[in-house]
Structure 1
Amino acid sequence: MSKALNILNEIFGYPAFRGQQAEIVSHLTNGGDCLVLMPTGGGKSLCYQIPALLREGVAIIVSPLIALMQNQATALNEIGVRAAVLNSSLSTEEAGLVEQQLLAGDHDLLYVAPERLLTGRFLHLITRIPIALFAIDEAHCVSQWGHDFRPEYSQLSILHERFPTVPRIALTATADTDTRQEIIERLGLDKARVFISSFDRPNIRYHIIDKANSRSQLLAFILAEHRNDSGIVYCLSRKKVEETAAWLVSHGMRALAYHAGMSTQVRSMNQERFLREEGIIMVATIAFGMGIDKPDVRFVAHLDLPRSIESYYQETGRAGRDGQPANAWMVYGLSDVIQQRRMIEESEAHIKFKQVAARKLEAMLSLCETTTCRRAHIMNYFGETTEMAACGNCDVCLNPPQVWDATLEVQKALSCVYRTSQNFGAGHLIDILRGNLTERVKKWHHDKISTFGIGKDLSEKTWRAIFRQMIALGFLTTANDNYGALQLADACRPVLKGKQTVVLRQLTKSAHSSEKEKAHDMLPSSAAERYLWERLRTWRARTAQEHGVPAYVIFHDATLRELVRLCPQTEDELRQITGIGTRKLDKYGNHLIEILRGS
């Protein structure tokens, strides 16, 4: 481990291992297999990169996305590690050169897509070289019940069959108990050691608020908390992605769109801008994100409800990968619940898949409606027991929601559903309850039924919140049609019979927490520090442009902040700064000292 620590210090510029990193590195270096569950930004890559440099041969890294491969290889090359990629982005000549270099022993790590790895040509190629290890990144892709299923991943057990003596490490940030077991079974990792880090991401502040006007709410959030910051905004549909990006641009934001329906060229260009430039907001479907290794994303916003806690955790984890304060912000309303339920019911998937999807959606709704700490709720979902009662860094803990006995109102709503033959959606039912004599109400003579006007004392917004929570609690379900009709579920019987009390959350305020976000604490406080901060950022941007790499490949924001705070004046003092290894000290030390001395 002294050699491993030396590599960590000299090459990667970190003073010490974090959490279980040292144990994982030791186990893998000594030839053991392992499954590693570690949050995004927790340092998973180091767990195989360091053993790759300690063991003889080349490490083969299986990765699902071209962007991730290229970014990691570029960052490794910048610190003097010999890394390459082999994927469809290379020409035949370029791929041939990488293969020749591989045979010549010129690489320490090779990143490859699962489709390429499974070809007979590639498997034959690597039989001709010593292999240090196999690393299977984003291992949750192996699960057919997971949120990112990739069929090719299910065939990766071939690695153990063909190369039984080569150690393997499977890594993921997102896997519940069932998914973990499926990874172990499908990859043949029965004898592997399992390392599970905490699922807590203490630097991320979680907010989930009631949806009113989602775009206006989003803009207010960005202007209040993240002006000029990089962020990701997730939308469910391609149309909404394009409209939201255009709307943000019209309000002075630097926003780009990304979805699978765009041309490959435009997608690649927008992704490259997001990675290389600062202050870009990417509005995207879930087609964007997995493997995006940009450490300074300060917020992730959701304008639509994710389909599971796994998806939510994975997507929000793209914020604050550098360990600095970040926000996970979401607006959530009745339409989201109905839409997600309908998508499951209308799916042509196998019944078992629908059951799993419904169960995962129910867990996601429970997170949205919880009156206890969101962070503890997420950790419990992933099987991590915690004594945490209040984290102090989520909206529920900062502004505990009020609850009220809504039993009578829920009974009124359920009765209204029953008396309209379970054929109508929430909007029409609310009109009946509030006594709104609309044309549709008159057409169906619903002004003549007993529930007409019995809920006029509550606002439309309050009734929408009631219906949303009734669906979340399983009292109502959506019909398998195109109209969003609500129907009674078996769970509502005790409520209708007066045998069950129903306590609901009151509407949450759309305003932000009265406390300033921790993200504001990241900015240097004095004028002199702010001036030095801007000089360092300007130098980093110019250097990154000269090298053709994203700015964070030169130095993370966390390193710049430490430089501002400690203001080292000599090379020896620079060595003590996190993120400055020997290679970067040699390349950039003189430039940094010039700036820090005010030259």
Structure 2
Amino acid sequence: MLPSDIYSGFLLSSPTHSFCPRWPIMDSYSDLDHLSHEKPVAPTSSPEDVLHKVFGYESFRPLQGDVVHELVGGGNAMVLMPTGGGKSLCYQIPAMVRPGTGVVISPLIALMHDQVAALRQLGVRAAFLNSSLAPEQARDIENALLQGELDLLYCAPERLLQPRMLSLLEDASLSLFAIDEAHCVSQWGHDFRSDYLGLSVLAERFSHVPRIALTATADERTRREIAERLSLTDARHFISGFDRPNIQYRIAAKTNANKQLLDFIRSEHPGDSGIVYCLSRNKVEATAALLQKNGYTALPYHAGLPAEQRAHNQERFLREDGVIVVATIAFGMGIDKPDVRFVAHLDLPKSLEAYYQETGRAGRDGNPSTAWMVYGLQDVIKLRQMLEGSQGNDTFKRVERQKMDAMLGLCEITTCRRQALLRYFGDQLDERCGNCDTCLTPPETWNGTDAVRKALSCVYRTGQRFGVNYVIDVLRGVDNERIRQAGHQAITTFGIGAELTATQWKSVFRQLVANGYLRADPEGYGALQLTESCRPVLRGEVALELRKDPERKAVSKTSAGRAGNKAPITDPEGWEALRRRRKELADEQGVPPFVIFHDATLQEILERRPATLEEMAQVSGVGAAKLERYGAIFLEVLGELEQSQGSVQRQEEHSGI
């Protein structure tokens, strides 16, 4: 059973038009009449022609071209690329080159709306079928499919599997099937959706139609399961590297989480868009209120909010600059906002898959971004208790323990975090990344063998019935009524740990729980208990090096990004003028600004200063449709800037400045 917060608010069976206001819903298929009823490029066009003329890019990224040509040639493919790696082009371009309509199975309404809106900006004949459409609107889309008037059609797995929809598809001319977020088919994955299991029907009923499955998050076990369940074992697999070098990974011990979060945002990301993840709804509300009190535009997002409010908050996050969403894991999947500059975790994710997926929402545009997290002993205890108390069978619990251990291992590692993260997904980084906290400020270690033996002994001597704070008080020889009542001032471990502070002992216990020497009472009372792993330590057969938790200085934002660093904006006035015009155009059309042009495209326009439409066409991200729609508008902005800045320069020269 999935936690309710994972998909609540986005389940395709529940929303109505009023819940998803950010894209104008088509009143009829005639809403697309401004687009040609012919394909925007000839069916005989090469993928490279489509890439350049429609999308405005000169060349494919690594593996993109190979995947595209495999599909254009009629083959099947399984694709694993990191978030922001360009997965969507791998099926969008073949769908436009091959005859027929490409059908994209997408899990969320938000994701469909984002991609369809962006494609229509490019002149591509794209539409979606989901529960946000009125019956007559859906019929118009279905007729367009049957008439061959669509390049791409997006729908949810639950709709696709309806007998009526399958029959409709059998009567249509199809160029391919694309199964997005394919990790949802894995029962071992963090985003499992039972409807994805039924997608094996595509291989049975449409064996002549090429199929492609895509995901950004899948370890080797999950990849095998995707291939088996979607009948893609014979397909070519395209595995790109998992590395997101523009993201700086940082994990710190939790001391005062609220203060740590505020210090992080103030010092490194003032005015930036970001996501803060919390485990509970109450914590989401409290954290959003804290940020609002400190002057930030912070909006809560969790399944307990009315659907209209969730949609409104998501709308603001996508359209406005500098908005921070504080959310449970209900938020994020399918959010295609490219300029999220930070993702912060105030609670420990359950697995590295979840951590990678959530942090991957930062920096989709390739610019420097931060994945920041604080975690503490109580996080570890809470997650372990939740796992042991779950209704899963022994196999499920064993797999989940392995995933949790890998997550904890990343937190406590003293070597490069990126190397460890990539290694988990079967990827390799030969050298330290230089862009994670353990590379930038290598942690100190200390021989904690004696401290560990004292800690384990004290847990044993107190009967394995008490939580960490009580055991630390006994170790440090605190004389209080509770300890006297229990008689623990008379045991041999009372006062043997006075050389360490309470904070230092918390670090010791956190690492002992994280590394499996202690566990939390599965009954849920928080008592620490010994595990079999601690026997060699107690017998003196094992020496342990522990990680010190130093006082860390904030890492300068300018140091972020060992790759993908962008030069600072040298013309702030011009930058703001372009962004302002983009925002006006976006508001007029009811779409987020990045659907008009990504920041990277605006930056290149500012740097190149094109003077003609021909020069504007050379800017990356300016395809034929956007050139026709927006080229003259942005040339006018540049002309006004040139005039304004020239006037200022003349005045300065005249005044002798």
**TM-score normalized by structure 1?**
0.98
Pairwise CA distance, 1:118 = 0.6
- Please identify, of 479-488 and 533-542, the stretch whose mean Cα deviation from structure 2 is larger: 479-488
Deviations 1:102-152, CA, capped at 9 Å, x for gaps? 122221111101110110010011111011100000000001010000001
Preserved contact between residue 136 and residue 169 of structure 1 (Cα < 8 Å): yes
Deviations 1:547-590, CA, capped at 9 Å, x for gaps? 11000000111111122222222222212211111111111111
Q: Percent identity?
A: 56
Find out whether 1:61 has 2:140 as its counterpart.
no
Q: Distance in 2 between matches of 1:380 and 1:500?
A: 26
Find out whether 1:303 has 2:346 as its counterpart.
yes
Give the alignment of 1:147-158 within 5 angstroms.
Answer: 147-158=190-201
Preserved contact between residue 117 and residue 591 of structure 2 (Cα < 8 Å): yes
The letter for the 2-side match of 1:441 is I
The letter for the 1-side match of 2:295 is G
The letter for the 2-side match of 1:453 is G
Secondary structure of residue in 1 paired with 2:325: strand
Pairwise CA distance, 1:332 = 1.1
Secondary structure of residue in 2 paired with 1:228: coil
Secondary structure of residue in 1 paired with 2:115: helix
- Alpha carbons of structure 1 residues 97 and 404: separation in structure 2 relative to 1, 3 Å: same
Query: Which of 477, 489, 511 is the equivalent residue of 1:447?
Result: 489
Preserved contact between residue 210 and residue 508 of structure 1 (Cα < 8 Å): no
Find out whether 1:239 has 2:282 as its counterpart.
yes
Q: Distance in 2 between matches of 1:474 and 1:310?
A: 20
Query: Which of 399, 404, 408 is the equivalent residue of 1:356?
Result: 399
Q: Distance in 1 between matches of 2:380 and 2:611?
A: 57
- Please identify, of 477-486 and 549-558, the stretch whose mean Cα deviation from structure 2 is larger: 477-486
Aligned counterpart, 1:269: 312
Q: Distance in 2 between matches of 1:558 and 1:312?
A: 26
Deviations 1:264-319, CA, capped at 9 Å, x for gaps? 11111111111111111000001111111111111100000000110000000000
Deviations 1:351-370, CA, capped at 9 Å, x for gaps? 21111111000000010111
Pairwise CA distance, 1:260 = 1.1
Aligned counterpart, 1:209: 252
Deviations 1:178-210, CA, capped at 9 Å, x for gaps? 000000111111111110000110010000011
Pairwise CA distance, 1:70 = 0.6
Preserved contact between residue 225 and residue 517 of structure 1 (Cα < 8 Å): no
- Please identify, of 558-567 and 122-131, the stretch whose mean Cα deviation from structure 2 is larger: 558-567
Pairwise CA distance, 1:515 = 6.8
Query: Which of 440, 456, 459 is the equivalent residue of 1:398?
Result: 440
Q: Distance in 2 between matches of 1:315 and 1:80?
A: 31
Find out whether 1:221 has 2:264 as its counterpart.
yes
The letter for the 2-side match of 1:414 is L
Q: Distance in 2 between matches of 1:96 and 1:305?
A: 45
User: Which sections of structure 1, spanning at least 5 residues, go unmatched?
Assistant: none
Q: Distance in 2 between matches of 1:497 and 1:38?
A: 47
Aligned counterpart, 1:110: 153
Give the alignment of 1:13-32 within 5 angstroms.
Answer: 13-32=56-75
Q: Distance in 1 between matches of 2:500 and 2:608?
A: 57
Which consecutive segments of 4 or more residues in structure 1 shift more than 6 A? none
- Please identify, of 494-503 and 447-456, the stretch whose mean Cα deviation from structure 2 is larger: 447-456
Pairwise CA distance, 1:385 = 2.7
Preserved contact between residue 524 and residue 533 of structure 1 (Cα < 8 Å): no
Q: Distance in 2 between matches of 1:9 and 1:33?
A: 24
Q: Distance in 2 between matches of 1:502 and 1:473?
A: 11
Deviations 1:512-539, CA, capped at 9 Å, x for gaps? 125734379657454xx01000101101
Pairwise CA distance, 1:219 = 1.0
Find out whether 1:489 has 2:525 as its counterpart.
no
Preserved contact between residue 417 and residue 429 of structure 1 (Cα < 8 Å): yes
Find out whether 1:474 has 2:496 as its counterpart.
no
Query: Which of 569, 583, 601 is the equivalent residue of 1:541?
Result: 583
Aligned counterpart, 1:385: 428
Q: Distance in 1 between matches of 2:557 and 2:205?
A: 57
Aligned counterpart, 1:500: 542
Aligned counterpart, 1:583: 625
Preserved contact between residue 8 and residue 16 of structure 1 (Cα < 8 Å): yes
User: Which sections of structure 2, spanning at least 5 residues, go unmatched?
Assistant: 1-43, 644-657
Preserved contact between residue 367 and residue 565 of structure 2 (Cα < 8 Å): no
Secondary structure of residue in 1 paired with 2:69: helix
Find out whether 1:182 has 2:225 as its counterpart.
yes
Preserved contact between residue 101 and residue 107 of structure 1 (Cα < 8 Å): yes
Aligned counterpart, 1:93: 136
Query: Which of 372, 381, 385 is the equivalent residue of 1:329?
Result: 372
Find out whether 1:195 has 2:238 as its counterpart.
yes
The letter for the 1-side match of 2:464 is Q
Aligned counterpart, 1:410: 452
